[in-house]
Amino acid sequence: MDAITVIRTKRDGGTLTPEQIDWVIDAYTRGTVADEQMSALAMAILLNGMDRAEIARWTAAMIATGERMEFSRLDRPTVDKHSTGGVGDKITLPLAPLVAACGAAVPQLSGRGLGHTGGTLDKLESIPGWRADLDNAEMLDILDRIGAVICAAGPGLAPADRKLYALRDVTGTVESIPLIAASIMSKKIAEGTDSLVLDVKVGSGAFMKNLDDARELAATMVGLGTDHGVRTVALLTDMSVPLGLTAGNALEVRESVEVLAGGGPADVVELTVALAREMLAAAGLPDADPERALADGSAMDVWRRMIAAQGGDPDAPLPTARETHTVTAPTTGTLVGLDAYAVGLAAWRLGAGRARKEDAVQAGAGVQWHARPGDRVTAGAPLLTLHTDAPERFAGALEALEGGAVTIGDPVEGDPGTVGPLILGRVD
C-alpha cells in the first residue's frame, strides 16, 4: 500500500477498497501518511464522494484505531443522542436525566462549542465544581447508580477522528458529508450504546443550511449506525430560529433547569419530549411517559444526582455577567424574524463561545431574547439583553445583530422568519 495510489484512486472517481481504507486510516494515525497526503485524499473525497460501503469501512477503520466501550453489566438498555449543533441548543441537559428517569441508561459523550454554536460541556462547566473529564470506570459507575452521565470523550475513543477532524478544519474539507458522517458515527459507535437518536439541525444557525443536505447527512448516519448494529433514527429539526430564550452557558443551564421543573420555553420542551420518545422507543421502552417524568419531578431528581456525582453543586448560584446591554424594539409590530446565526454570532462575540478550541469562554456571557417569532412587540420595549464580563465586546455583538437579524412587521406566509414546525422530518 502507498498513499499516492490511494489518493489517485479517489481523485479519479474510483472506489477505495476495504484494504486501502484500513491501511490509510491506520497509517495516518501512526504518522506514516503525512498531513499533506491525507489533505489531498480528504479533498478528493469532498469532490467525488464515497458510496455507502466505503463510508461504512472508513468509519470502522477509525473505530479500530482506539477502544470500544461496552455496557453489558448495566441492568437497563443504553441509548444516546447526538445533535449536529445549533444556537440555544441546550436540549441534552434536560434530555439525558429525563430519559434516565424513564428507565434507560444515557451515556452522553458531548463536546465544547466552536464558533457560533454552543457546547454542552461549556454549559455544564458553568455549574460550580462540575467536571467533564471522567475515566471509563467513573462513567460506568455513574451510569449504574444514576442512569445518566454527560462527559467528554476520552482520548482512546476513535483517535483517528480527532487527528483527521483537526486536519479537515484547516484544509477546507469540513463540508464533506461522508467525512462528517464518519466523524460523528465513529465516536458514537465506539461509545458502545445499543441505540442512537440523531438531531440533525437545518437552517441559518445550523451547519446544514437546506433540508436536502440535512436529509442526506441524516440518511448516511442512520445507514452507518444500522451497518454497525446500532439501532439509529434521526429527526430533522429547524434551526432558522434559536431554541428557547437564551444562548450562552449559565443562561442555558438556568433555562434547562426550568424545563426539568415543569416549565421552560415551549419549543425546548417540545423537542426534549420528542427526542425522549424516540430514544425510549429505540431502547425498547415505548410505553414510558417522558411528560409525566417532567411533571412528577423524577427527571429533576436524576439531574440533581447526576450533577452531584460529577462534582457539581446543583444548588449553587450560577455565574452572571458583570455587564448587560438592552436592545429595544425599534417599532411596534409582530416579530417575524430572529436569525439563529446572527444571535449565535453575537453570543460568541460576547464571550460565550470560542474561535479556537484552546480559547476560554465566559460562563455568564450570552444573549437573552424577550420575544419569539409570532409574538407582538412594542416600540421601546426590551427585545434582547446582551450579557458579558467585558463591555468592550458589546460593539461587536451589536454589529452581528445588524442587517436583518431581527425583523418586525406583519407576518407573511412562507417568509423565512415566520413560525413553522420545529420537527421537519424523520429518517429511520
Q: Taking a C-beta distance cutoff of 8 angstroms, is the pair 90, 243 a contact?
A: yes
Q: Which three cell numbers stand for residue 313?
A: 453543586
Q: What strands lie across the sheet with 231-238, from one edge to the other? A: 79-83, 195-202, 231-238, 423-427
387 is a catalytic site residue: no
Q: Taking a C-beta distance cutoff of 8 angstroms, is the pair 246, 278 a contact?
A: no
At 336, give phi and psi (nearest 5°). -105, -10
Cα distance from N-terminal residue to C-terminal residue, the chain: 37
Question: How long is the chain?
Answer: 428
How far is Cα 140 from Cα 132, in angstroms, rounded to an integer? 14
Q: Which residue shows C-alpha cell 472508513?
A: 58
Q: Which residue shows C-alpha cell 450504546?
A: 193
Q: For the CA atoms of the chain, what is the radius of gyration?
A: 22
168 is a catalytic site residue: yes
Catalytic residue among 83, 126, 176, 183: 183
183 is a catalytic site residue: yes
Catalytic residue among 116, 123, 168, 231: 168
56, 340, 358, 399 from 403: Cα distances, Å: 43, 13, 31, 8
Q: Closest Cα to residue 184, out of 205, 207, 150?
A: 207
82, 140, 241 from 149: Cα distances, Å: 14, 9, 29
How far is Cα 285 from Cα 239, in angstroms, rounded to an integer? 29
Catalytic residue among 89, 122, 161, 339: 161
Burial zone of 301 (CB within 10 Å; 0-12 exposed, 13-18 middle, 19+ buried): middle
Burial zone of 261 (CB within 10 Å; 0-12 exposed, 13-18 middle, 19+ buried): middle
- Give the residues across from 409 on adjacent strands: 334
How far is Cα 118 from Cα 120, in angstroms, rounded to an integer? 7
> Which residues are catalytic, by number?
82, 161, 168, 183, 187
